[in-house]
């Protein structure tokens, strides 16, 4: 039997970090606001930097900024000392993370930025550190107690540094009026992108919709269904959807020589509509439940109207193509 109670130890560590993280409220001052405004007004790129674990945090914050449309990349200070300083432009901003603020590898990069008047936002816990002395905007991290048995291993300090970076990003997102729609643009793949995908993003619309008049012949209808490759045609009457004619129904009519058959008698009346603002996953759920391969799309406000205006068609192939399950 192991003498250590790992659950108790984990809860103790978590409790210590949660307690220390509350100190973050001290840094929400004019310097924090200036940092957000400076990043918002930046005409170049936001270059995140840091060494060791602070470097990992810098990479993460850079990735977060990029994912919300703020042009950013991570610069390794050690590599910067060997030629990568050329990546920094006068229009850029350096966002530098260092809990101690005295990491030696930062020195040359900071001198370069100061020499060429490149703005630095420094995040450190030591007001007299080389980082904050070189910074145009100084964000002072509160001193925190680490949550490991020795009180030395970066735990609470890395947590609070990461939290500060995320708070900067979130404040900036509010400033630029970031939305789900914008996030979707920068994050089309993965589970998040799929969850945000709307019917209007993947529907067929405009001239790509196979429409036929209600008085068209079966042969005309069949020809249009074949041409548009959606397995159906939309039957229209006075610019309003009257029904849908499937490929199977049209072919059966031709096979049994029912060329003169009235489309109205073989079409499916009252087809199922979905709002263009519904999620693609909801559309797939309806298709699976109804055992159909397509849904007609209309606007949100027109969904409950008897005379629905057609905005598009969403097909199961389009949904599966985007990996929606």
Q: Does 188 map to a domain? A: no
Q: Grade residue 156 by pLDDT with cuts at 50, 70 and 90.
A: very high
Q: Does 131 map to a domain? A: yes
Say if pTM beats, i.e. exceeds, 0.95.
no
If asked whether residues 38 and 149 sit together in one domain, one would say: yes
Note the pLDDT tens digit of each residue in 60-80.
999 999 988 899 999 999 888
d(CA 163, CA 146): 15
Note the pLDDT tens digit of each residue in 86-108.
899 999 999 999 999 999 999 99
Q: Indicate if the pLDDT at residue 257 is higher than 60.
A: no
If asked whether residues 273 and 164 sit together in one domain, one would say: no
CATH value at residue 67: 3.40.50.10490
In the chain, where does DSSP find H-type helix?
A: 6-21, 30-41, 53-67, 77-80, 107-115, 130-134, 156-175, 180-186, 190-196, 199-202, 218-228, 247-255, 263-266, 280-290, 316-321
Q: Does 282 map to a domain? A: yes
| Residue 291: domain span | 199-321
If asked whether residues 207 and 257 sit together in one domain, one would say: yes
3-state secondary structure of 319: helix
pLDDT, residue 1, reads 42
pLDDT, residue 273, reads 94
Over range 32-56, report the average pLDDT: 95
Q: Indicate if the pLDDT at residue 194 is higher than 70.
A: no
Q: Provide the percentage of residues in the chain whose pLDDT is more than 90.
A: 56
Q: Does 224 map to a domain? A: yes
Q: Does 186 map to a domain? A: no
CATH value at residue 222: 3.10.580.10
Note the pLDDT tens digit of each residue in 234-252.
999 888 888 999 888 888 7
- Edge-first strand order for the sheet with 312-315 is 273-275, 294-298, 312-315
If asked whether residues 150 and 227 sit together in one domain, one would say: no
Average pLDDT, the chain: 88
If asked whether residues 128 and 224 sit together in one domain, one would say: no
């Amino acid at each position: 039997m192991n003498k250590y109670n790992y659950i108790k130890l984990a809860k103790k560590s978590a409790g210590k970090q949660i307690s220390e993280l509350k100190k973050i409220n001290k840094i929400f001052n004019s310097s924090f606001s200036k940092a957000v405004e400076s990043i918002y007004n930046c005409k170049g790129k936001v270059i995140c930097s840091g060494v060791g674990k602070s470097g990992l945090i810098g990479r993460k914050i850079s990735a977060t900024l990029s994912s919300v449309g703020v042009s950013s990349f991570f610069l390794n200070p050690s590599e910067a000392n060997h030629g990568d300083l050329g990546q920094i432009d006068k229009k850029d901003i350096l966002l530098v993370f260092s809990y101690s603020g005295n990491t030696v590898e930062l020195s040359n990069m900071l001198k370069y930025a100061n020499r060429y008047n490149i703005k630095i936002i420094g995040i450190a816990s030591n007001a007299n550190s080389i980082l904050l002395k070189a910074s145009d905007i100084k964000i002072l991290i509160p001193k925190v107690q680490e949550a490991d048995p020795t009180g030395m291993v970066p735990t609470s300090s890395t947590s609070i540094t990461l939290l500060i970076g995320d708070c900067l990003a979130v404040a900036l997102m509010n400033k630029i009026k970031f939305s789900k729609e914008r996030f979707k643009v920068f994050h089309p793949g993965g589970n998040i992108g799929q969850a945000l995908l709307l019917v209007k993003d993947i529907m067929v619309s405009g001239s790509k919709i196979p429409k036929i008049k209600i008085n068209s012949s079966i042969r005309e209808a069949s020809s249009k269904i074949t041409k548009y490759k959606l397995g159906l045609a939309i039957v229209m009457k006075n610019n309003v959807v009257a029904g849908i004619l499937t490929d199977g129904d049209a072919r059966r009519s031709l096979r049994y020589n029912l060329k003169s058959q009235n489309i109205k008698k073989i079409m499916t009346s009252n087809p199922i509509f979905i709002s263009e603002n519904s999620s693609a996953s909801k559309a797939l759920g309806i298709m699976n439940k109804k055992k159909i391969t397509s849904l007609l799309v209309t606007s949100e406000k027109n969904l409950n109207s008897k005379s629905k205006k057609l905005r598009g068609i969403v097909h199961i192939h389009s949904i599966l193509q985007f990996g929606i399950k």
